[in-house]
């Protein structure tokens, strides 16, 4: 596996290097209704990161399912910023358009780290829409 597909597969199979990303809200949403998802981001020592840049992309399907014809620009185009609500918690709102599985590709960039660190601090989170 080479190129974009290989890089993405490698990134999705690795553990974030500088952070821990956890969901603290339900990962089930209703089609056509706005849902709020809350993420808890800490450093590796468990200290909440209030100053991280948390960005994500939500796509329909399981990880890698729709990657075949995507470029890096396609993936970056749909990125959204999670809202920092304090104490290491970040929220994002999402309205699923159809039933099924969605993947929330989540990246946390700690303060002082470059934008490139997002590739090393990535976690895929599943969302079920019913």
Q: What is the band of 66 on the pLDDT scale with cuts at 50, 70, 90?
A: low
Share of the chain above pLDDT 70, in %: 78
Backbone angles phi, psi at 43, to 5 degrees: -80, 180
DSSP secondary structure of 31-88: TTS-EEEEEEEEETTS-B-SS-EEEEEEEESSTTTT-TT--HHHHHHT-EEPEEEETT
Residue 73: band (very low, low, confident or very high) from pLDDT cuts 50, 70, 90: very low
Q: Rounded mean pLDDT of the chain? A: 83
Express each pLDDT in 109-129 by its tens digit.
998 887 777 778 899 999 999
Domains of the chain: 3-129 (2.60.40.1930)
Smallest CA-to-CA distance from 37 within 111, 96, 100 is with 96
DSSP H or E stretch at residue 99: none
If one compares 15 and 97, the residue with the highest pLDDT of the two is 97
Q: pLDDT digits over 9-37, tens only?
A: 555 446 777 899 999 999 999 999 999 99
Q: Strand 28-29 vs strand 122-129: parallel, antiparallel, or unpaired?
A: parallel
């Amino acid at each position: 596996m080479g190129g974009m597909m290989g890089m993405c597969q490698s990134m999705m199979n690795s553990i974030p290097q500088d952070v821990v990303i956890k969901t603290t809200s339900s990962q089930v949403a209703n089609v056509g209704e706005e849902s709020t998802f809350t993420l808890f981001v800490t450093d590796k020592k468990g200290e909440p990161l209030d100053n991280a840049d948390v960005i994500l992309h939500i796509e329909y399907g399981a990880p890698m399912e729709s990657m075949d014809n995507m470029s890096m620009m396609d993936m970056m185009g749909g990125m959204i910023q999670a809202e920092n609500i304090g104490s290491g918690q970040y929220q994002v709102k999402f309205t699923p358009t159809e039933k099924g599985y969605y993947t929330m590709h989540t990246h946390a960039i700690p303060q002082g780290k470059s934008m490139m660190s997002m590739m090393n601090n990535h976690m895929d989170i599943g969302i079920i829409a019913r």
